[in-house]
Amino acid sequence: MQGCIPKAFHTHETSGGAVINVAGNYTAYGSDEAEIVAKIKQSSTLDKLPYAEGASWNSDLACLTGTRVALLSLVHRWSRSCDNCRIFCLQGVAGSGKTAVSNAVARFLNEAGLLASCFFFDRADASRNTPRLLFSTMARDIAALYPTIAEDIAAKLEQEPSLASANLSRQFEAFIAGPLRRHPVDRQIIVVIDALDEATDDDLGTDLLALLRDEFAKIPPYFRVLITSRPTRILEHHLSGKSHVVHHHIDINSDENRRDIAAYIDDQLQNSPMLSSIGTHGPDGELIRDLKVMADGLFIWIATVFRYLGPVSNPKKKLRALLSRSHAQGQEPEPTRKIDALYSTILEASGDWDDEDFRDEYALFMGSVMAIKRPLSLTALRALHGGNQELSLGRLPQRFGAVLVGLHSENEPIHTLHLSFREFVTGRAADRAETQKFFLSEREHNRILGELCIQTMVRELTDAPIAGTGYLARHENDRSGIPELTGVSEQLLYGCEHWGSHVCDIESPTLAVTRIIREFLPNYNTAWIEIVASKSTFAGSLSVWRWLHVHATELTELYDNVSQARVLFSLSSRLAYVGRLEEALTAIDDSVQLRRALAARQPAIFGTKLARSLVNFSNRLSDLGRHEEALKAIQEAVEGYRPLAAERPEAFNANLADALNNLSNRLSSHGRHAEALAAIQEAVGLRRALAAERPEAFNAALA
């Protein structure tokens, strides 16, 4: 390692300095008060970077000690190398154990002091199914380890607060590439990124792959990234043939992989009290040998089998029946088909499929689990369904504990053990006659959840209004931030967050849906926004507005465009005030769209409101570094104010002057200085006239 670190950065001969961990508690001897204050301010600045909770590694999920020896040795050598291969791309089919390898790698890197950050993508987690928080999370992790890099990132954030929610390219340069160039370190910096294929945002996913392909080739070779993913066409398109990327594929049919599967099976049999009745010799030994063969190199297959056997009273009998069924079906070599066959066996044994009541219970419970946008506890699921007592622990762990996590507590979020199960029951199960009974239509269950979300919001907001709501009903110029609301239940927050995305899957609203929407829109179409802004992340509000204009035109009159546009304008100002710039942009964008629709029908009444929203829209775009769009927005605002000011100068010249001032700033940032000068001169002329008439109101603006 010494060979690739510049001599200037060895610190064994230095003395007299103090290393301060700004991410946590620290003691600084000999530091003056100003330095301590600066460190506290720096830490506070870094805390403004959004952080993906739950994205780090878990030693409990690492592969069994003594397995994956060759692969881990390969990664170990790569992690300590200074060659050009900055990215190690590990690919494998679903269920081949990639995440276990990632956790094992993270563990040994952490023990060696080389692990800088981890990001485990998860399709079921809204903060981890997109790369949006990847670089901000990495930046905070790296800053906690390297004080000079922390200072660099904090200074950048102080200079440009919009970086906290900027696009991936800007964040990569500001938080990763730039600081590494300016502050070389004396050791390897390794980052682990697991399950890249579970980043579901197509645009951001493509942006990240482009950065991995192009920009990661330029960073210092001591910064290295391990990536795991299923093999995908887009991954191959971006990363194959690149000199800074080394590829490795997990061969599930290799002798090593089969030995590792066998070792895992032996370990489970020896250490699980529930499976101790299964021996390793005689008839039982033959049963175990069959199990090792049937696993066919798929770790998720064998892990699911053991979860299936765990709670049963006679695991040996259950295992013999499972293997007998698998032999009878015949196993195709394609791994997905093998996993599907196992899921079919488990679901077949979960209940009486000839019993209509059981089929309804399966659809009710499993359909909800598959359709929810983020994992919910059983308590919240039951509340969403109006307190339906069929959704209680009862036999759920015995029936579905092999494929779902979170069934041993009322308050634990429920999610699939592995993504492949969701893909089976919501997709591939429909392809074969014998598995169609397991199929669950996400669209149908989205429709059901859409109705349940609205019912839950109406019920809970009627029975016990949330103290503090109503803050968006104040004047739209009120910028006092977002109050902290209390008393919001898990199911109410979920309904507020996701009712729109569920409702949009309803193509033909039933009478019940129409009735509940009629009750909801006039009474609670602001409260849900206030709750989301206070307790979660505001991601937009117009999906239902658009849906109404296509699928329920008779209800559009209940959507108060005027009031909602004002609410969203106010929300944007409040979000911007507390530095939530991306959400602020989303809110003002919604306001612009509503006011544009209003102005198209009644320009004399709503033209000024549209122009006002456009000014704020331009400001929010500029905050996020989207300068071209910001310029277009302010140009439209100026053109909107001109006819208004010409007709009623006493009412609108001040607005026009403000817009021209903003236009001058936007033009100047584009280097169009002559146009910027003309715009500010026009603004000064207007303000001079206004100050002459009302000096107390306009002298400050003129100055």
User: What number of residues does the chain have?
Assistant: 703
Residue 542 makes CB contacts below 8 A (sequence gap 6+) with: 590, 593, 594
Banded pLDDT at 29 (limits 50, 70, 90): very low
**What is the end-to-end Cα distance of the chain in Å, rounded?**
60
Question: Is residue 137 predicted with pLDDT exceeding 80?
Answer: yes
**Segment 213-259, tens digit of pLDDT:** 999 999 999 999 999 999 999 999 999 999 999 999 999 889 999 99
Q: What is the mean pLDDT of residues 609-614?
A: 96
Chain-centroid distance, C-alpha 8:
40
Report how far residue 263's alpha carbon sits from residue 251's, in angstroms, rounded to the nearest whole number.
17
Q: What is the mean pLDDT of residues 123-138?
A: 92
Reported as type and span, the H/E element at residue 226 is strand 223-229
DSSP codes joined into one string, 85-124: --EEEEE--TTSSHHHHHHHHHHHHHHTT-EEEEEE--TT
Which structure tokens are listed for 75? 């990664």
**Segment 553-581, tens digit of pLDDT:** 999 999 999 999 999 999 999 999 998 99
The more confidently predicted of residues 399 and 281 is: 399
DSSP codes joined into one string, 345-364: HHHHTTS-TT-HHHHHHHHH
**Segment 402-417, tens digit of pLDDT:** 899 998 889 999 999 8
Banded pLDDT at 280 (limits 50, 70, 90): low
pLDDT of residue 215: 96
pLDDT of residue 281: 57
User: Which residue, chain included where needed, has tokens 């590792």?
Assistant: 260
pLDDT of residue 319: 83
Q: What is the mean pLDDT of residues 287-299?
A: 85
Q: What is the mean pLDDT of residues 497-518?
A: 93
Banded pLDDT at 703 (limits 50, 70, 90): low
**Residue type, position 420, single letter:** S
Banded pLDDT at 168 (limits 50, 70, 90): very high
Report how far residue 679's alpha carbon sits from residue 659's, in angstroms, rounded to the nearest whole number.
9
Which structure tokens are listed for 271? 């250490």
Between strands 189-194 and 245-249, the pairing is unpaired
Q: What is the DSSP letter of 193?
A: E
pLDDT of residue 297: 84
Banded pLDDT at 71 (limits 50, 70, 90): very high
Question: Is residue 333 predicted with pLDDT exceeding 60?
Answer: no
Q: What is the mean pLDDT of residues 616-623?
A: 94
8-249 maps to which CATH number? 3.40.50.300
Report how far residue 534's alpha carbon sits from residue 624's, in angstroms, rounded to the nearest whole number.
22
Report how far residue 672's alpha carbon sits from residue 628's, in angstroms, rounded to the nearest whole number.
12
**Segment 193-215, tens digit of pLDDT:** 999 999 877 777 889 999 999 99
Question: Is residue 697 predicted with pLDDT exceeding 90?
Answer: no
Four-CA torsion 585, 587, 588, 590, nearest 10 degrees: 120
pLDDT of residue 19: 37
Q: What is the mean pLDDT of residues 276-297?
A: 74
**Segment 647-667, tens digit of pLDDT:** 988 888 888 989 999 999 999
pLDDT of residue 21: 39
Question: Is residue 309 predicted with pLDDT exceeding 90?
Answer: no
Banded pLDDT at 151 (limits 50, 70, 90): very high
Residue 29 makes CB contacts below 8 A (sequence gap 6+) with: 18
Banded pLDDT at 9 (limits 50, 70, 90): very low
The mean-pLDDT minimum among 17-26, 379-388, 464-473 falls in 17-26
Question: Is residue 326 predicted with pLDDT exceeding 90?
Answer: no
Banded pLDDT at 394 (limits 50, 70, 90): confident
Q: Where are the domains of the chain?
A: 8-249, 255-348, 356-440, 445-560, 602-703
Residues facing 194 on adjacent strands: 120
What angle (nearest 5°) sits at the alpha carbon of residue 70, between those of residues 118 and 83?
A: 60
pLDDT of residue 34: 75
Question: Is residue 534 predicted with pLDDT exceeding 90?
Answer: yes
What angle (nearest 5°) sits at the alpha carbon of residue 418, between those of residues 415 and 424?
A: 100
> Which whole-number Å values give the CA distances from 426 to 240, 271, 369, 429, in the listed order?
31, 35, 11, 7
What angle (nearest 5°) sits at the alpha carbon of residue 423, between those of residues 202 and 397?
A: 130
Same fold, 8-249 and 602-703: no
Banded pLDDT at 276 (limits 50, 70, 90): low
Banded pLDDT at 35 (limits 50, 70, 90): confident
In 3-state terms the chain splits into helix, strand, coil percentages (rounded to 5) of 65, 5, 30
Banded pLDDT at 593 (limits 50, 70, 90): very high
**Residue type, position 23, single letter:** A
Banded pLDDT at 541 (limits 50, 70, 90): very high
The mean predicted confidence, pLDDT, of the chain is 88
**Residue type, position 90, single letter:** L
Q: Do the beta carbons of residue 632 and residue 661 sit within 8 Å?
A: no
pLDDT of residue 487: 94
Banded pLDDT at 690 (limits 50, 70, 90): confident
Closest CA to 191 of 207, 172, 204: 172
The mean-pLDDT minimum among 35-39, 255-259, 382-386, 467-471 falls in 35-39
> Which whole-number Å values give the CA distances from 483 to 289, 444, 447, 533, 569, in the listed order?
61, 36, 32, 9, 17
| Superfamily of segment(s) 602-703 | Tetratricopeptide repeat domain (1.25.40.10)
The more confidently predicted of residues 14 and 101 is: 101
* Percentage of the chain modeled with pLDDT above 70: 90
**Residue type, position 558, single letter:** L
pLDDT of residue 45: 87
* Percentage of the chain modeled with pLDDT above 90: 63
Question: Is residue 4 predicted with pLDDT exceeding 70?
Answer: no
Question: Is residue 12 predicted with pLDDT exceeding 70?
Answer: no
pLDDT of residue 449: 95
Closest CA to 300 of 427, 416, 436: 416
Report how far residue 182's alpha carbon sits from residue 516's, in angstroms, rounded to the nearest whole number.
58
The more confidently predicted of residues 272 and 303 is: 303
Q: What is the DSSP letter of 223?
A: E
Residues facing 115 on adjacent strands: 190
pLDDT of residue 8: 35
